[in-house]
Amino acid sequence: MTKKAFSAITIKSVQDERREIEGIASSPALDRVKDRVDPMGLSFDKEVPLLLNHDHASPVGTVQFGTPTRHGLPFKAVIAKVDEPGVVQDRTNEAWHSVKAGLIKGVSIGFRPEEAAPNSSGGLDYTKASVHELSLVAIPCNPEAFISSFKSLGVTASAIEPIPQHTSKAVEASVAAPAPVETKAVASQPVRTAVQINHTNKEVTDMQNTNHNIFIRRLILRAITGGNEAQGAPYAEARWGAASGINKVLKAVQNPMGTDNAGVLAAETLSRDQFVQTVFSTSVLGQLQGLTRVPALARVNVETVPITASFVGEHMPVQAYQGAFGVTLTNQRKVGIITVLSAELIRMSGDAAEALIEAQVRRALSRGLDKAFLGSQARDGVTPTGLGAVASQAASFAEGLEAFTGDLTTASVLVNPLTAVRLRSASETQITAKGGIYCGMPAICSYSVPVGKLFVVDAARVLAFVGAAELDITAEGTFPVDDGTGTVTAVQTGMFQSDQQAIRGLQYADWSFVDGAAFQTTAPVSV
């Protein structure tokens, strides 16, 4: 794996009129965080930006992708040559010379995931995603994302050495192929919406290291400065560096008319969106295959039985279908949590402290979504309907399947991790406490499912709205705090008195179910 990660680069020419790079942007191999990307499920524009270390405010060139194969996604990139002295020239020259000198040997894709599923290694298998950028990185998250060659003006195709032997001839041939506007996604396995591939990793650079760290670091900065961000820029520069994403955002906020600020503020929005995707993707709702995502505040008509289009004769009327089930979701429902953390932790520098803060809020919000989604409550002014309130009761798993009117190709089994372990048998070896496959369907585990019970739910009959996330922090006030036992104590905890900070996290979401969306039954397990 390590051998493939750092393929050697051979300099073909040092003529700097043309700066071309070729290689493999993504392969089906497991990356450093146990995720896997299916190249055949990637879509992309004809041309995407080439970045340095995933810094959206610092493009260095352009990229064209070749035709993806099961072995990987080939690419050809050009690093811009800028004649006018200045920041842009320095940046592009740094990128080119880093590649030539062998300081940068890898690439990493930035993408918006559309469908994914848990894999046996504890990560995610992304089966469908939209690539929006390619970055030059010192250590790629995917060990097989490498640069195979680079060249300058005057180098012919025959002078270029072939791609290293561990890649196939199909990949080598496809590097030179023109990039289509969009590839067809081939995704036949269980899927879920998920987050970008490059999660926090000590080995990668700062901007690659923390994709949604701008969102979290801005929260930390508000805690340190008492909410006065105008005075936070010197602290941010001292703690995270002048080139950090949060420092650039602060400068852009103070001077929104700057020439490069649009990209910086877009990066902050992307950081917030990625946090939302992280919360959503780790919830049961986000892991459902074929989930129907709908906008809020708009009536949505959906099918209650499979509708099939038919051929139409000349001058004949086309069949019309409206949908027998209509629903309007709201953008005002939200799950929320106040997490109390020590001021020492918030002041502490380093990725570990930031990751801990982010993880506690993210897990709490994700579990809140699970608790409501798998509950038995009726829809009211605060909480959406729980799956337990709409799922039909079945005497056994087999009888439930026989009577199930949903689509089994988009159905999943929801089960408690303890029950999942007990479901393992000689014939059911693909289910674990983390999920997997049960009776040929994706299994999703959550502690919000009652032990000994299981749901079968058709994700296509689940209509979901996922909105924005909000984070705020304060060192003032007192709160009745749950100490982890599930019971809110009557003792008030003062933030200032105990030198703690209270982080409030809100995630906006709503959902509804089409009739016949699910059934529940007792799991056929042996204690």
Residue length of the chain: 527
What is the chain's mean pLDDT, rounded?
73
| Number of neighbours of residue 238 by Cβ within 10 angstroms | 11
Winning range, highest mean pLDDT, from 158-172, 186-200, 254-268: 254-268
Percent above pLDDT 90 for the chain:
20
pLDDT (tens digit per residue) in 232-281? 777 777 676 766 666 666 655 555 544 444 444 454 555 566 677 778 88
- Confidence class for position 97, pLDDT limits 50, 70, 90: confident
- CB neighbours of 154 closer than 8 A, spacing ≥ 6? 13, 15, 18
Q: Where are the domains of the chain?
A: 2-199, 210-278, 334-522
Q: How many CA atoms lie within 13 A of 8 on its CB side?
A: 6
Does the domain formed by 2-199 have CATH 3.40.35?
A: no
pLDDT value of residue 445: 96
Query: Which residues, 6+ apart, have CB-to-CB distance to 261 below 8 Å?
Result: 251, 252, 255
Q: Are 341 and 360 in contact (CB under 8 A)?
A: yes
pLDDT computed for residue 172 by the predictor: 37
Per-residue pLDDT for 330 more than 50? yes
Higher pLDDT, 356 or 196: 356
CB 339 within 8 A of CB 361: yes
Q: Please say if the pLDDT value at position 192 is more than 50.
A: no
Residue 211 predicted with pLDDT over 70: no
User: At residue 9, what is the residue type?
Assistant: I
- 466-523 pLDDT per residue, tens: 888 887 877 777 767 666 666 656 667 777 777 788 888 888 999 999 889 999 999 9
The pLDDT of residue 420 is 95
Q: What integer pLDDT is reported at residue 54 of this predicted model?
A: 77
pLDDT at 423 over 90: yes
pLDDT over 80 at 310, yes or no: no
Average pLDDT over residues 380-406: 93
- The per-residue pLDDT for 111 is 78
Q: What is the dihedral of CA 394, 396, 398, 401, to 10 degrees?
A: 20
Per the model's pLDDT, the better-predicted residue between 153 and 26 turns out to be: 26
Measured distance CA(345)–CA(353) in Å, rounded:
6
pLDDT score recorded for residue 27: 65
Is the C-alpha dihedral spanning 27, 30, 33, 34 positive or negative?
positive
Torsion of CA 510, 514, 516, 522, to 10 degrees: 0
The pLDDT value recorded for residue 296 is 81
